[in-house]
Structure 1
Amino acid sequence: MRGPDPDRTPIDALTERINDAVSGRPRTVVVAFLIVSLVFAGGMGMGGEQQAGTDQFTADVEEQDALDAMEEDFSRGSRESGGSTATLFVSDDRNVLSKPSLLRMLTAQERLEDKDELRVSTTTGPASIIATQLDPSADTAEAQRRAVERATARELDAAIRRAANNGGIGPVSTDFTAESGSAEVAQVVVQYDTPPAASTGQRASIQTRTVDVVGGVEGLEPGDNVVVFGDAIINEEVNQLLTDTAIIVFPAALLLIVFFLVVAYRDPVDLGLGVVALLMTLVWTFGFMGYASIPFSDSLVTVFPLLLAVGIDFGIHIINRYREERAEGAAIGEAMRLTTDQLTTAFFIVTLTTVFGFAANLTSSLGQLQDFGIVAAAGIVFTFLIFGVFLPAGKVVLDRLREGTRFPRFGTAPLGREGSIMGTVLPLGAKAARVAPVVVLVVALVAGAAGGAYGTGVDTEFSQEAFFPDQEKVDAYGQLPEPLAPSEYTFMRVLDHLEEDFDQGFIGSVTLYVQDRDVRSNVALEDVDRATQDPPDAFASENRRAEATSIVSVMESRAAADPEFAAMVDRFDTDGDGIPDREVDRVYDELLSSAHGDRARNYLTADRSATRIEYTLTADADQAEATAAANAVAEDMRLDATPTGTLVVNQVVIDRITESAIRSLIVAFLLTAAFLMVSYWWLESRAVYGLINLVPVLVTVGLLAGSMRYFGIPLTPFNAPILSVSIGLGVDYTVHYMHRFVDEYEAGRSVEEALLITSRGTGGALTGSMLTTVCGLGTLYLALIPLVAEFGVLLALGVFYAYLASIFVLPSVIVVWDRTASLAAPVANAVTR
């Protein structure tokens, strides 16, 4: 059964309107598009505060909400908690616990606490703990400094040993031992009482001024023997990474894109028109983001190279096909009419299928991936309008202005013309299809299937570290002249300290947040203690007990140092397990009123409605294992416990990334398949053309998935859309090839002849588009942000695979279909008779 009369379809009507406007009123079209561009330019910069780092992906994650609630609960009524936190990494190659170093740390802490504008609530560190061993009444940095000043060397050594044996000396490097009383690196924690509504910029400003105050202490040199690290500073540095990446990548991309456009266009006028169209695409998209209140983030950086890729492709196709018609003797207006008559339909199909690939990300549960889908889908529609209407109209205006003048003529021959080197190489796919199409098709399908199967083992990654480059890359780029040289990143130094001096990564623990009205009950402490017994393998342990910090461990430290408190614990312990199971509130009162009260407040909220347990992980535990272990322990507790912490949140995001990638791939494929089949049925009464289009696309997706694993590129929030996007990129190339073939084939040419014409004509445009796009996108590999660099590699590979599949695989698919249909026709006729 055939569809509606293909002689007159809505797409034909749209094409005729575009033809009339482009050929009959090109100046009006150009002016109208320039006016719209001014309107969109007004929306640029209105999208709100730039977003970067991991926070942008955790905004709507339930586990992140639990983490925020926990931090808020423990900030109320606690002298050790504030609105934000910074950490000072103080190093001394000789001994950071020597008297001079301790005094420098306490002097810095005293000055920070005295600066009202910094809103510092408390400062704590090894120097504070040692000072309270010398003088238990020293509860300020000033008093603690005086205690250390008065202490003799012997008294100081004894205080260090007591602190080490009585709950720990605080965060010092792993080279510390109680016997030596020395270490190379110590951490000082600074708590700020910043308002809940304080912005990241405000918090970063306070933390940055902390660097200035610390640098004013003689013997402390920021960036040398002291590094100030805070969450707001890191967020600012991620934003700076975006800027530094743009400064390096954009000029390189522009140079390469312009170079290959010069090669493709070989005419400065056409080149200028193409560049203007690309800039308009960016202006429209940025303006849309502003009016839609979508903030710019590093996850959206990748949208713009995608739009440039599609725009370059559309532009080269328009100019190349126009030159083909001009070479046949057509006048300017008629040549452009013939060009848009054929290409507008292909552009329309490419646009909608690419929109499906982008919009499939709306099925993701991550807000940033949804924003990616919205912005990319809108951008591709803008690209269709600008390159499908504005650029042809602009070309007509410019060529009519040049006609009859002495303006020099540049390269006007189409790419891939017969007799050229490209015209000799491009038909190889068509020639192979004539000789051994089944072999080519089977090899391609096996390669795609093998790549897809291999790619199922790709790793996943999501952490703050993934946003920062390795030091070697920063050092190499540091040799560039200003303003190309990147900034210094505190995070790099902090990560080195954590890994080398503290034997931990940026994330070293998981937390159980226990929010239950029974926290004050007689069974609460026993349940908390039981949660540390016989821990899973992911948790560090000793003697079958997890290395964990909780209200119970604080209580045990107090009991070990205070016989009276130990006696109280024994009195209220009826079953002899060392844990009070009566009068728990009285035990809390006594604990909170002691010198251990500040530590206790970190594990028991002021209203005693919540507590938390922090588990240390084994060195080889990964995020998935640690999260699974935390969930298992939480399920076994009688109290209402929720696993949380940065590590758990990151693992949840990873799970959502994987789920989103698979779901968006399936949705994009199904929507694309349905649309292509309906489109070709409507246009040509042959739905099978749509299926033929998809075979090379499947090969492209399979090869790209396999390449991710082969090159060690993990699945991240940045590249999660790549598989669904690769469908859109693949269809971009196959639709252009298939649509040209159908035009030639339906005009009465044989399959072989139609393939040769298509391979030279459309194949030439595809080659120019591929070279320009691959090299332009490939410059993303220069990005300082590893996630952006990896996405650039995947995009370039996706375009390259799509090109190869279109030129060398699609002809064989067409020939196999034609021969199969020819063999089936007599059988069908016989059955009908």
Structure 2
Amino acid sequence: MLRKVAGIIVRYRVAFALIALFLMVVSVYGIGQLRFESDLSTMLPEGTPAIADYNILQNEFQSGDSTIIAVKIDSIEPGGVYDIRDPEVIEAVYELEQRLRQREYVTDTVSIADVYMQVLGRLPRSEEEAKFVLDMLPPEQRYSLVSRDYTMTMIVVTISREKKTETLVRVYQGIQEDMKSVKFPKNVEVIQTGNIGITYRILELLQSDLNKTMAISFILVIALLLYFYRSPVKAIIPLIPLIFGVTMTLGFMGLAGIPLDLATTTIGAMIIGMGIDYGIHITNRYYEERRNGRDIEDAAAEAVAETGKALLGAALTTIAGFAAMYLSSLPMLHHLATALILGLSLAALNAIVITPAVVILEEDVVKKLKGHYVRPEVRSGSGFIGELFHSLGRTIKAKPRAILGAVLLVTLLFAYGVTQVTTEVRLEKFVPEGMPEIEALLDIRGEFGGQDEIYVLVKADDVRDPAVMRAMYIFEKQVKADSYYNGVFSSESPADTVYREYGYIPNDREKIRAALGEYQGVQTVSNDYSMALIKFTGDFGGASMDDFRRIMRYFEEETKMAQSTEFPPGTELTVTGDLYLNYVLDQITSVEINRISTYGTVFVVLIVLLLFRRPKVSLAMITPMFLGALWTVGFMGLAGIPFTQSLAGVISMIVGLGVDYGMHLTHRFLEEMNEGNPRPIVTAVGSVGPGILAGALTTAGGFLALLAGELPTIHDFGLTLAFGIFASMTAAYFVTPALLQIFYGKKVGGGSE
């Protein structure tokens, strides 16, 4: 069947190439429709309770999103200011605040200038006056506004916006415009950080990383192809169908509305790395058949037919590994699975359809130029590399059990690394260290005790109930009393508003209503009085993920305890906010890693068993897959690479990719054994091994191109996948032939030790 299809493809190669060209044009239009996505809430499953509470936070209280503008003395040049209490600095801060408040998406701002307006009714006229007012404040309040060395202050801006990328860009750029329009004194640096600033920076890096990693991936692949094929023209042959596949993938993503996010931004470099494998195997087999004396059309048909069997199996198992990501509840992984399956399918299809047309065209052109066909030679199948793989085949044939023993020792090392693996989901960890936004955020945490925000949503029949209000006040005090443990620096709630008005929480509901009605600050009570908001500010990110989880668990446990002990029956307390969404994502990611990896492995094993229906053959094929995945996770633990939401599906991906190498070796072994070759393992390793090496190097090269990206998660993604490819390839070179030799060595007359 496949041989007939191969004949049709070769016979009508020009027509198929024209169809592909038409789809290429349509895809170019689709690329223009691609959009970037960096909103954390879109990464969580629909229906998650935390999302519902987060939406309430956004819609009812216009809260939950903020940006911080750090104002600091960054130099000591003559003619500039040296103290943040300088009236010129305070005046510039006040002017910037007024400009920000005119923005429709800004709901509140807090800065040092507000203190002077409240105390003096105006801004200070001299530095002595500015110092005097600040010195009147309690130390806790004073140092929440300025650093202890008086070189830094900040403006906290509360934002209400639609959770759309376009809106985020508009908000960030609008605030940047206001910052530039205000003239700060010499020596003063102004930096926008916090959720808005960091998210915008991630979005910006996503766009630049996509273009950069794709370009570098192409350069690496071209360099490797030039080395292996010795000719620029022959190197282009497997590259042309790849270009078609990558362009179609990005175009169809744009047409289908699949966004580019922290995971799918890698798709370009990944498809380049993985897709080139298909073109290389078909091209290598074509050249092998031509060297064996076949004419061009027979060689092309044989290459498509014989290599197509292994490619079909490899594509199906790879797709099965990727398809396991659909079982995840994370939308990000659904998008990545769709993009990868689409990309690999198109890369494989283009390799099978376009490669025969291109390779035959190249030979025809050479014949017209030189008057005769030129026998093709490639470096991967001859010289040092060719002899190296034939020697490897002979060694494995002679000592298969010794080879397996050495592999076992390596596996034990990586098994230890598996125990060291961690997870990471904090937003700030996705931005490179040393960036101004991150440095400013670290300075703010160090000087002001942190400006992370956690919200507790209180739901009741009427939050103006004195019992509810009193319980809120007590709950706040209890949480703040544990600040050494939970990192809380300050808090705000409607109970504070009432307490400031009367000095106590009255039992009269009308008094409470009056106090809340007169309050002019950030909204902390819903319009129907069925919900109230308690806002805690502090350093909740923690020095490590363990600290972060501990603090988030503290808030969960305290709200549950307070709900059952302090608050009246029927009152409900839940934790929410951007930071809490990170914690929820962490919990989901931990579960998804195990689920996706398990199902991906099961899917791949089932497809291998269905395709080959021979337990021994299947075992030889899939063992490198298991080892490649195990070694990869061990490498992550030893190298300190954590699992993130974008890396949650990496094991399933390695499983899908890793089985390909064992499949190519096994398929060639069976082909040689069925034809009566007395040394099928030597021939299989010697002939297919160089092609696997070329494919693995180009695939890993595509993944390693991700190291050129600036986002740490992109680095980790590329490095992990590249290692996984080399691990799977190495395991396939040693384990698959060794097992086949043990299982079938005596049958073909070779025997084992």
Same fold (TM over 0.5): yes
Q: Indicate the residue corresponding to 1:464 in structure 2.
A: 427
Q: Indicate the residue corresponding to 1:781 in structure 2.
A: 707
Aligned mates of 1:747, 1:243 — CA distance in 2 = 52
The one of 502, 524, 530 aligned to 1:603: 524
Q: How does 1:272-351 map to 2 (within 5 A)?
A: 272-351=236-315
- Residues 54 and 338 from structure 1, CA distance in 2 versus in 1: closer, same or farther, beyond 3 angstroms? same
8 Å CA contact 1:624, 1:651 repeated in 2: yes
User: Residue 125 of structure 1: CA displacement?
Assistant: 1.2
Q: Indicate the residue corresponding to 2:325 in structure 1.
A: 361
Q: Indicate the residue corresponding to 2:658 in structure 1.
A: 730
The two structures, once aligned, show a CA RMSD in angstroms of 3.3
The one of 208, 216, 234 aligned to 2:173: 208
The one of 66, 69, 78 aligned to 1:88: 69
The one of 77, 96, 106 aligned to 2:94: 106
User: Residue 415 of structure 1: CA displacement?
Assistant: 4.7
User: Residue 671 of structure 1: CA displacement?
Assistant: 0.9
Q: Is the aligned partner of 1:767 residue 2:693?
A: yes
User: Residue 635 of structure 1: CA displacement?
Assistant: 1.5
8 Å CA contact 1:697, 1:727 repeated in 2: yes
Q: Indicate the residue corresponding to 2:437 in structure 1.
A: 491
The one of 716, 720, 737 aligned to 2:644: 716
Q: Is the aligned partner of 1:164 residue 2:174?
A: no
- Residues 809 and 428 from structure 1, CA distance in 2 versus in 1: closer, same or farther, beyond 3 angstroms? farther
Q: Indicate the residue corresponding to 2:345 in structure 1.
A: 381
User: Residue 719 of structure 1: CA displacement?
Assistant: 1.8
Q: Indicate the residue corresponding to 1:131 in structure 2.
A: 117
Aligned mates of 1:409, 1:433 — CA distance in 2 = 37
Q: Indicate the residue corresponding to 1:629 in structure 2.
A: 554
SS at structure 1 position matched to 2:525: coil
- Residues 224 and 747 from structure 1, CA distance in 2 versus in 1: closer, same or farther, beyond 3 angstroms? farther
The one of 702, 705, 708 aligned to 2:633: 705
Aligned mates of 1:320, 1:207 — CA distance in 2 = 52
8 Å CA contact 2:143, 2:448 repeated in 1: no
Aligned mates of 1:307, 1:801 — CA distance in 2 = 19
What is the identity, as a one-letter code, of the residue corresponding to 1:331? D
The one of 545, 549, 566 aligned to 2:491: 549
- Residues 817 and 173 from structure 1, CA distance in 2 versus in 1: closer, same or farther, beyond 3 angstroms? farther
Equivalenced residue count is 731
User: Residue 84 of structure 1: CA displacement?
Assistant: 6.4
User: Residue 356 of structure 1: CA displacement?
Assistant: 0.6
What is the identity, as a one-letter code, of the residue corresponding to 1:354? T
User: Residue 366 of structure 1: CA displacement?
Assistant: 0.8
Aligned mates of 2:424, 2:163 — CA distance in 1 = 30
What is the identity, as a one-letter code, of the residue corresponding to 2:153? A
Deviations 1:511-562 (Å, cap 9, x if unpaired)? Answer: 221122252223213332443466599x5249x9975524377258626xxx
Q: Indicate the residue corresponding to 1:421 in structure 2.
A: 384
Q: Indicate the residue corresponding to 1:483 in structure 2.
A: none
What is the identity, as a one-letter code, of the residue corresponding to 1:463? R
What is the identity, as a one-letter code, of the residue corresponding to 1:172? L
8 Å CA contact 2:706, 2:718 repeated in 1: yes
- Residues 411 and 267 from structure 1, CA distance in 2 versus in 1: closer, same or farther, beyond 3 angstroms? farther
- Residues 821 and 433 from structure 1, CA distance in 2 versus in 1: closer, same or farther, beyond 3 angstroms? same
Aligned mates of 2:286, 2:381 — CA distance in 1 = 13
Q: Is the aligned partner of 1:540 residue 2:475?
A: no
Q: Indicate the residue corresponding to 1:520 in structure 2.
A: 464
User: Residue 588 of structure 1: CA displacement?
Assistant: 4.4
Aligned mates of 2:736, 2:480 — CA distance in 1 = 53
Q: Indicate the residue corresponding to 2:19 in structure 1.
A: 32
User: Residue 220 of structure 1: CA displacement?
Assistant: 4.4
Q: Is the aligned partner of 1:258 residue 2:222?
A: yes
Deviations 1:29-80 (Å, cap 9, x if unpaired)? Answer: 2223222323333433334x321364542474542431231132223xxxxx
Q: Indicate the residue corresponding to 2:28 in structure 1.
A: 41
Deviations 1:3-27 (Å, cap 9, x if unpaired)? Answer: xxxxxxxxxx1x1233212332322
Deviations 1:437-474 (Å, cap 9, x if unpaired)? Answer: 22322442453355245314311111222221122xxx
- Residues 26 and 110 from structure 1, CA distance in 2 versus in 1: closer, same or farther, beyond 3 angstroms? closer
User: Residue 641 of structure 1: CA displacement?
Assistant: 0.8
What is the identity, as a one-letter code, of the residue corresponding to 1:604? V
8 Å CA contact 1:256, 1:772 repeated in 2: yes
Deviations 1:208-231 (Å, cap 9, x if unpaired)? Answer: 34434444444347x952223465
- Residues 325 and 510 from structure 1, CA distance in 2 versus in 1: closer, same or farther, beyond 3 angstroms? same
Aligned mates of 2:351, 2:748 — CA distance in 1 = 39
What is the identity, as a one-letter code, of the residue corresponding to 1:26? R
SS at structure 2 position matched to 1:525: helix
Q: Indicate the residue corresponding to 2:153 in structure 1.
A: 186
8 Å CA contact 2:487, 2:539 repeated in 1: no
- Residues 549 and 821 from structure 1, CA distance in 2 versus in 1: closer, same or farther, beyond 3 angstroms? farther
SS at structure 1 position matched to 2:225: helix
8 Å CA contact 2:71, 2:188 repeated in 1: no
Aligned mates of 1:664, 1:214 — CA distance in 2 = 46
What is the identity, as a one-letter code, of the residue corresponding to 1:28? A
Q: Is the aligned partner of 1:740 residue 2:668?
A: yes
User: Residue 801 of structure 1: CA displacement?
Assistant: 1.0
User: Residue 784 of structure 1: CA displacement?
Assistant: 0.8
Deviations 1:186-243 (Å, cap 9, x if unpaired)? Answer: 1223456x6x55854345335434434444444347x952223465554433232123
- Identify which range, 253-262 or 507-516, moves more after superposition: 507-516
**Structure 2: stretches of 5+ with no match in the other structure:** 74-80, 564-570
Select the structure of larger CA radius of gyration: 1
8 Å CA contact 2:267, 2:340 repeated in 1: yes
- Residues 401 and 591 from structure 1, CA distance in 2 versus in 1: closer, same or farther, beyond 3 angstroms? closer
What is the identity, as a one-letter code, of the residue corresponding to 2:730? L
Aligned mates of 1:309, 1:208 — CA distance in 2 = 36
SS at structure 2 position matched to 1:338: helix
User: Residue 714 of structure 1: CA displacement?
Assistant: 0.6
8 Å CA contact 1:200, 1:232 repeated in 2: no
- Residues 274 and 697 from structure 1, CA distance in 2 versus in 1: closer, same or farther, beyond 3 angstroms? same
8 Å CA contact 1:533, 1:545 repeated in 2: no
- Residues 333 and 111 from structure 1, CA distance in 2 versus in 1: closer, same or farther, beyond 3 angstroms? closer
TM-score (norm 1): 0.81
What is the identity, as a one-letter code, of the residue corresponding to 1:273? I
SS at structure 2 position matched to 1:460: coil
Aligned mates of 2:306, 2:514 — CA distance in 1 = 83
Q: Indicate the residue corresponding to 2:410 in structure 1.
A: 447
What is the identity, as a one-letter code, of the residue corresponding to 1:514? V
What is the identity, as a one-letter code, of the residue corresponding to 2:440? V
- Identify which range, 686-695 or 709-718, moves more after superposition: 686-695
**Structure 1: stretches of 5+ with no match in the other structure:** 1-12, 76-80, 136-143, 177-182, 472-488, 560-564, 570-578, 824-833
8 Å CA contact 1:460, 1:654 repeated in 2: yes
TM-score (norm 2): 0.89
- Residues 428 and 95 from structure 1, CA distance in 2 versus in 1: closer, same or farther, beyond 3 angstroms? same
Aligned mates of 1:585, 1:757 — CA distance in 2 = 91
Aligned mates of 1:262, 1:492 — CA distance in 2 = 42
User: Residue 663 of structure 1: CA displacement?
Assistant: 1.1
8 Å CA contact 1:759, 1:807 repeated in 2: yes
User: Residue 731 of structure 1: CA displacement?
Assistant: 1.1
